[in-house]
Every structure is written in structure tokens, then in C-alpha cells.
Amino acid sequence: KLYIAGNKISQVEFGRRVGVSESVISRWLKGAYPNPETVDKKVTDFLDKEEVRDIVAEVRDIPFSETNISKKIWNTLEYCRIQRTIGVVYGDAGIGKTRTMEEWKRDKTDVITVTVTPAFASPKSFLKVLARSLKSSRQGSIDDIFSEILDKLEGTDRTIVIDEAQHLTCKTLELVRSINDMQGTAIILIGNELIYNKMQGRQQAEFAQLFSRIGMKIHLLTDYFTERDVSIIFKDVEQGAAKYLLDICKSKYGLRGAIHVYINAKNNEDISVAGITAMSRMMGIGT
């Protein structure tokens, strides 16, 4: 009960986190659940994990910082939103594209985000995910779902951000382009090098219409990280450790890799140059 009150969550949410239904957790809290031992064990396991999490550092403990790269991403996202155009933010993995996008949209009510996986790459699968985000119908043929999405967007001034967009097929990207054409909805594609390489490679002709409608594109590399970026992200490390973390940021592991090394070293209570270096080697993240 203290956990529920302290975290300002409902019994339903607590039951979901523990892995039991609302009715079970309600009766258990009242002492009216038969054979409570099974629920006791689930709750104990959950609270034990939460207690440990309270005393160790986590990746989410690193606050968002306005780095050289995040500024470029932020400005591109905002430009596309204002201009109602198609934008592409692409580049190396682990440099903060998704984190910056999430921070950028935090106080905005007109932004819809969809994260693509290979399972959602085909036109109908993607449209179902988009329809869910728009609270639109996901029933019927692909034409029905697409028409419902267009109706939902008509007369609105929305921005659709598609993360991990490199997974989308050519046909799916054509549908995305059509949404911008027909409703003037801003579309922003975020992904790795593949999303842009598709448009410039063997499928260039197929992507011609989409390519010609891109209003803004930005290519991001780990090389863009600077000493200043590291100093504002990892405020409590000495100069030598900061230099080592910068080297990781500029490597194929990116900022994501540097943060994982730092967090693990912090939990090991040693963020000195020696501690950061040893943790990096133990994790197999060399520079």
C-alpha cells in the first residue's frame, strides 16, 4: 500500500506490474484472497527488485542534455512540424535520435509517434499500428484502414514521427508519402543509414516521388560529439575519464555505449579513468 501511494498509481496498475489481475490484487490487499501465498511471492519479488533499483544507477538517471547532435535533431524536427513537410533524420546508431525526439515531443499535443519493427514493415501492418496511435479503426481491408486514417487526419495539423523507419518497405513508404500529399500532415522518418541508402541505391526510381518531397534531411555521425557534449552529460567525471568517454561516443558504440559504461562504473563505485577503462574492457566496448 505504501508503494501504491508513494508512486501515485492505482491498484490496477500495481497488479499489472506484479502480474496479477485487478480483482486478485484487490482481494489480496483486503486479506480476502484464498491461498495468498502465490500473490505474496509475486509481490515480494517485485518489491525486492524495486528496492534494489532505488539504490543503483540506471540509464534513465542520465538526464537529457542539449548536445551538438541533439540540437541538430531538435531543429530538424521542429522545422518539419512547422513546414508540414517530410523530413529524414538518419545516421549512426546510439547517438540520441530517439531520446531527443521523445524530449522534443514531450509537451506537444499534435505529435504522434510510431516505432517500426520488422513485423510492422508491410503496408497493412504499419497502417494498423498508425491507426491505433490515432485511435482510428483497424478493421477491414488496407483501403478501409487507410481511408479511416485520412479521415482522422483531415482538417488537423498533426505531425507523425516514424522511428526505426529503415524497416519500412517501399510500398509502405509510398503510403506514408501519400498521407503528406493528401492531408498535408508533417511526416518525419528517423532511422539508421539504411533509410536514406534505400532512396539512393538500387530502389532509387521507386523512391523518386518520396525523395523529391523531402523538405529537410539531416545526416548524423558519432564524429560530431564534442568535449563540451561529454562535459554536460557526465558532469562528475574527471578530465581523463571524460576523454575516454568521448572516444567511446565517437566510436561505433556511440553515446549509448558511453552511457552504459559510465552507469556500470558508477554502480561499481569507480568512475575514475581506471574505473571507466576497466569497465569498458570488461564490457567489450573498446575505443
Indicate if the alpha-carbon torsion angle 123, 126, 128, 130 is positive or negative.
Answer: negative
Amino acid identity, residue 28?
W
Cell 505529435 locates to 111
Return the pLDDT at 199.
61
Per-residue pLDDT for 254 more than 60?
yes
Which grid coordinates belong to 234? 557526465
Maximum Cα interatomic distance, the chain, rounded to a whole number of Å: 67
Q: Whole-prediction pTM value?
A: 0.82
For 207, the 3-state DSSP assignment is coil
- Please enumerate in sequence order all residues whose Cβ is within 8 A of that of 5, keeping only pairs 6 or more positions apart, or say none: none
Which grid coordinates belong to 98? 530517439
Planar angle of CA 190, 180, 95, nearest 5 degrees: 10
Return the pLDDT at 265.
95
Query: How far apart are the C-alpha atoms of 261 and 200, rounded to whole Å?
Result: 36
> 137-155, pLDDT tens digit by residue?
888 999 999 999 999 999 9
Residue 250 binned pLDDT confidence (cut-offs 50, 70, 90):
very high
* Candidate from 27-41, 68-82, 98-112, 184-198 with smallest mean pLDDT: 184-198
Round the average pLDDT of the chain to a whole number and report it. 90
Per-residue pLDDT for 248 more than 90?
yes
pLDDT (average), residues 212-235? 90
> 65-90, pLDDT tens digit by residue?
999 999 999 999 999 999 999 999 99
Per-residue pLDDT for 162 more than 90?
yes
Which grid coordinates belong to 29? 490487499
Burial class of residue 88 in the structure, from the number of CB atoms within 10 Å of its CB (0-12 exposed, 13-18 middle, 19+ buried)? buried
- 46-to-4, 30, 58, 59, 77 alpha-carbon distances in Å: 13, 19, 17, 20, 38
Residue 205 binned pLDDT confidence (cut-offs 50, 70, 90):
low
